[in-house]
Amino acid sequence: MKFDTPAGKNPIDQLKVVGKPLNRIDGPLKTTGHAPYAYERHDAIANPAYGYVVTAGIAKGRVSGMELDAARRSPGVLAIVTADTAGPLQKSERNAAALLGGPEISHYHQALALVVAETFEQARAAAGLVKVRYATGKGAYDLAAAKKAGTNFQKTDPDARVGDFERAYGNAPVTLDATYHTPDQSHAMMEPHATLAAWEGDTLTVWTSNQMIDWGKGDLAKTLGMPKENVRLISPYIGGGFGGKLFVRSDVLLAALGARAAKRPVKVALSRPQIANNTTHRPATLQRIRLGATAEGTLTAIGHESWSGNLPGGSPEEAVQQTKLLYAGANRLAGLRLANLDLPEGNAMRAPGETPGLMALEIAMDEMAEKLKLDPIEFRIRNDTQVDPANPERPFSQRQLVQCLRDGAQRFGWDKRNAQPGQQRDGRWLVGLGVAAGFRNNLVMKSGARVRLDATGQVTVETDMTDIGTGSYTIIGQTAAEMLGVPIEKVTVKLGDSSFPASAGSGGQWGANSSTAGVFAACTKLREAVAAKLGFDPATADFAGGQVSEGGKTVALGKAAADGELVAEDSIEFAELEEKFQQSTFAAHFVEVGVDVATGESRIRRMLAVCAAGRILNPKTARSQVIGAMTMGVGAALSEELAVDTRLGFFVNHDLAGYEVPVHADIPHQEVVFLDETDPVSSPMKAKGVGELGLCGVSAAVANAIYNATGTRVREYPITLDKLLRGLPELG
């Protein structure tokens, strides 16, 4: 199905099942421990062997020798895989470094070997006997030093320019020029990267934790140099990913190589330190923002430049992309600078680009509002735009940012905020309110599904879409139920298997909207098949209550499959509308904080997100997405930072004890409001994504609230108490 004109009225608009706050249909399996995760596929494979990964102890250089004899003689060892024994391997374009290193080493904890043994303990003990000798090279590990030197940076693309930024900035009566720093961050998902692999002849099956099934299947096949059709990838349940599992990592490749070498199924899980250093992370940024405005508060110049680092062949953190679209301004500059750093690979983490970009931009907007003596909400509203600032003939399909801000201000009690920082006290706590705009582009991807109908009226949906804790099972079931007029109990949803039609996958906030649109397309085709079987006109037949009706005649839906199961398969393909309309999602984030007047400890007191993100397919699962994202935003603001050893090139705090994420006690009341919105330009579902929007802007709202509480402006995340202590008022 081609989606090239805005959606008209369709069966989804009935909203009998779609749009209802239904419980997740996978919830009982997960809460009772019956949902099988990758490392636990006892139902699929009996008596697997265990692999333990040996990783590089240096960040840059070469392997000059590897002693394996002691490990081979260790009890229970079945095989040892290294780059020398693995056979020819290719590198997928989605991996900046080889997943199995040697002799060249690209980064700390790069995989160098896999030891396979009868038990996990035996594999781990034998891996400890592997002795690796290194020829250490000189690496670059310090983003700030690279920026200061300047010689290691390159422009990834020409700067995006509109008008004459330098002239407009120079002539502006009110200006801001500030630099902000966001640190390296870890995905810190609950389920580690884990894989179980088994060969049957030249056919490989992997049960793994992966967000993008079709990408993973293709990349694994390419790396191993085998036909894609000979690889099957299965991932029905994923215990968190946040972008860290978009791409195949070393656990998948090494499990496959280990199973081939040991001639039996092998399971591999990465340890926490390996997850931090061996897999991907959100790269640090240094961002310079320059704003120029009239005395009345109209932005005339917007400049945003971002510096980040990555391995050779890696991409920059695109922290300027929201600045191109969020506010009006006739003269604009946006530019990315990339340094070659020998740290572990930087790549997508929840809302890549916009998350760190808004951490800086939305502080800058508050700083500029203060210079102008304007309320920060009013300043944002004055600079709203309904069109792409770089292309005024291209309007936003929907844009309710102003409504988000106004509705949120009323709900949060913004009128009670004291604009003078450091004035509100609650006992030992300095209290402050902060706001930030949220923005995330609405991305869509081709997505397919297969739908089956049997004689009992049972509907089965098959698609390789994944559920990373987001509720994919439920919204896909709701879509099929709405389209075919059956209760959701009559729908079975099967996900995460590469033998099913390729879907959009889970990533980039495109998963829910795109995958349900793919199910819509397949169900449309099944409706046509059902109508043809029953002698109805598919354009006028009514599907409701498990029956199909037209012209006074009503027939049970299952009767269409009386002679055998009906099967329909289709994909949604998006075209043209993306070019004609700017599609984005918007939010306003409000935070109240308390800062201890003696210690500088910051505490969240309450939070509100008001979101405009198209039709909300399930308010309960969407709210869950947003409050989880808000929690991540608190972590980014107050505690999360991968500390870099700039001498040796690794992340020091590479476990969940040293890398501090928020816990329940850190997060009090959270409120989420969804504005009434449908966007027919987005998809037949008239929906958009919301899971990443809930994060975008949150950290800046926290930072702005801390400034309002204390009068101390911190431009370097995380905002730890040592950065506040000097600015706190004297204790009387």
The set of catalytic residues is: 692
Q: Are 193 and 269 in contact (CB under 8 A)?
A: yes
Q: Are 719 and 706 in contact (CB under 8 A)?
A: yes
Question: At which residue do the structure tokens 């959701």 appear?
Answer: 488
Token pair for 642: 């991968």
Rounded CA gap, 251 and 231, in Å? 16
**DSSP classification of residue 258:** H
Q: How far, CA to CA in Å, does 247 sit from each of 154, 209, 668?
A: 26, 10, 34
Q: Supply the angle between the helices 698-710 and 354-372 in degrees, to the nearest 10.
A: 30
Rounded CA gap, 255 and 121, in Å? 17
No. of H helices and E strands in the chain? 16, 33
End-to-end CA distance of the chain: 71
Token pair for 238: 């994923």
Q: Which helix (H) or strand (E) holds 632?
A: helix 619-638
**The dihedral formed by the CA atoms of 399, 405, 407 and 411, expressed in degrees to the nearest 10:** 150
Identity of the amino acid at 154: Q
Strands 299-310 and 231-234: unpaired
| Residue 369 backbone phi and psi in degrees, to 5 | -60, -40
Q: Supply the angle between the helices 472-484 and 511-534 in degrees, to the nearest 10.
A: 30
Using DSSP's 3-state secondary structure scheme, residue 437 falls into strand
Token pair for 341: 């750093």
In 285-411 the beta strands, taken as DSSP E runs, fall at 285-293, 299-310, 331-340, 387-388, 391-395
Rounded CA gap, 285 and 271, in Å? 27
> What residues contact residue 624 under an 8 Å CB cut-off, 6+ apart?
471
**The dihedral formed by the CA atoms of 459, 3, 515 and 561, expressed in degrees to the nearest 10:** 10
Question: Is the N-terminal amide bond of 103 cis, ω within 30° of 0?
Answer: yes
The number of residues making up the chain comes to: 732
Q: Are 84 and 102 in contact (CB under 8 A)?
A: yes
> What residues contact residue 507 under an 8 Å CB cut-off, 6+ apart?
211, 212, 243, 246, 348
Task: Return the number of other C-beta atoms located less than 10 Å from residue 424's C-beta.
Answer: 18
Identity of the amino acid at 172: A
CB-side neighbour CA atoms (13 Å) of 498? 25
